[in-house]
A = this chain, B = another copy of it.
Amino acid sequence: MKLEKSPLAPAAFPSLPDIAGVRFATAQAGIKYKGRTDVLLAEFDAGTTVAGVFTRSKTASAPVLRCRKHLAGGRVRALVVNSGNSNAFTGRRGEASVDAILKAVAEAVGCSEGEVFSASTGVIGEPLPHGRIIDVMAGLKSGLGAASWEDAARAIMTTDTFPKGATATADIGGVKVTVNGFVKGSGMIAPDMATMLGYIVTDADIPAPVLQALLSPAADASFNAITVDSDTSTSDTVMLFATAKAGNPQPQGVDDPKIADFKRALDAVCLDLAHQVVRDGEGATKFVSIAVTGAADDGAAKRIGLVIANSPLVKTAIAGEDANWGRIVAAVGKAGEEADRDKLAIRIGGVQVTDGGMRVEGYDEAPVAAHMKGQDIAIEVDVGVGSGSATVWTCDLTHGYISINADYRS
């Protein structure tokens, strides 16, 4: 099925500067899709460090299980990603596919298999025809450097309607470094389990343990704070690669003041990419931010925010441009977290809607109704019990989501 580009898509793929120490190649292996690239190979120079966060699914895919193992080494020379088949729930056959792919990449790049990371995304439970990937390996190797960041982002897309990238620069000890990232994801997007596939590359020189300590909280506040449909993928992966080409002084730890500006840049790239995933949410017509305050603690605020964000009734009301704040009240009520019904305060588009456990006196729905007609919907909820806060992001639930998902595999 041909999907229309999301109405929430950015005007264009951003301009991403080169990063020394990484080269891309893409190929059409014909794993599932016809007439488009579906394999990405990235080669990293020796000395590149790596961090990653992965799905917490109990049915994680074979590549995810292997990546977790390789991460202990902290070093990376190659990344290979295919779209069209997730190699998840494929048993021993799936593990054998990973073995075969890693071996072929290690031979092509000239490294150990432990320095190769892989990912697969697409349909679950079908055997991965890994021979098709191996068949294009020689071409990928010889083509390294020919593919752009946008080409890389396109090769890993599944139901995505636009390629997603982001960039930022930072200063580490007087040296300018760059952070580029790209991501795929549109459906089966739910938080607290890492997320879809996301790859971030920097030329900074950062030891692997510091890299990991930076990535985990960045993912928590971005990829783990979005939801399209509450469904968590078996393949969720976000990785951060540092090629060490910038020549910056190495930070000694995550609390080293030198790394503060890099942390800001990394957080910004992660948040930008996460928002693009929401903007490409299957069938999305509205981008929704939900800011929760006054919760018992930040974790409770995030859980309440996600319950609101995952409520089909809230999401369909937004699709219908209906300021149906009663459904927000019901979602807060079902979250199971502490909340004071009689202090609950809701704002939509900056307009106070409830106060003191009921609708504000003389409530005028006109400005709220006007806000609901826009593409960016802002919901603020104070639950009145403490000082915990969190913001999460989601999209609306539309006929488009049903059309895409009642059809996807067939």
Say yes or no: B325 contacts A125, CB within 8 Å: yes
Say yes or no: A231 contacts B330, CB within 8 Å: yes
Q: Please report which residues of chain A, range 181-201, place their CB below 8 angstroms from some CB of chain B when the two chains form the complex.
A: 187-188, 190, 193
Say yes or no: A231 contacts B316, CB within 8 Å: no
Q: Please report which residues of chain A, range 41-87, place their CB below 8 angstroms from some CB of chain B when the two chains form the complex.
A: 55-60, 86
Closest chain B residue, CB of each to CB of A125: B326
Roughly how many angstroms separate A92 CA and B341 CA in the complex, as a whole number? 11
Say yes or no: A410 contacts B320, CB within 8 Å: yes
Partner of A339, one of B59, B398, B406: B59
Contacts of A403 in B (CB 8 A): 399
Roughly how many angstroms separate A344 CA and B90 CA in the complex, as a whole number? 12
Q: Please report which residues of chain A, range 327-364, place their CB below 8 angstroms from some CB of chain B when the two chains form the complex.
A: 327, 329-339, 341-342, 344, 354, 356-359
- A191: shortest Cβ distance to chain B, in Å? 11
Say yes or no: B316 contacts A124, CB within 8 Å: no
Interface residue? A34 (CB, 8 A)? no
Contacts of A123 in B (CB 8 A): 326
Interface residues of A, count at CB 8 A: 73
Contact A327/B89 with A234-B333, A310-B230 known, Cβ cut-off 8 Å = no
Say yes or no: B57 contacts A93, CB within 8 Å: no
B-contact 0/1 string along A303-331, CB 8 Å cutoff: 00000001111001101101011110111
Say yes or no: A317 contacts B406, CB within 8 Å: yes
Partner of A399, one of B91, B125, B399: B399
Roughly how many angstroms separate A123 CA and B317 CA in the complex, as a whole number? 13
Interface residue? A397 (CB, 8 A)? yes
Contacts of A324 in B (CB 8 A): 408-409
Say yes or no: B322 contacts A410, CB within 8 Å: yes
- A227: shortest Cβ distance to chain B, in Å? 11
Say yes or no: A90 contacts B358, CB within 8 Å: yes
Closest chain B residue, CB of each to CB of A335: B58
Say yes or no: B341 contacts A58, CB within 8 Å: yes
- A311: shortest Cβ distance to chain B, in Å? 5
- A97: shortest Cβ distance to chain B, in Å? 12
Roughly how many angstroms separate A409 CA and B318 CA in the complex, as a whole number? 12
- A280: shortest Cβ distance to chain B, in Å? 16
Contact A58/B188 with A91-B357, A325-B125, A354-B89 known, Cβ cut-off 8 Å = no
Contacts of A397 in B (CB 8 A): 312, 402
Q: Please report which residues of chain A, range 116-139, place their CB below 8 angstroms from some CB of chain B when the two chains form the complex.
A: 123-127
Q: 10 A-B Cβ contacts within 8 A?
A: A57-B330, A57-B334, A88-B329, A124-B326, A125-B329, A125-B359, A190-B334, A229-B313, A322-B408, A324-B408
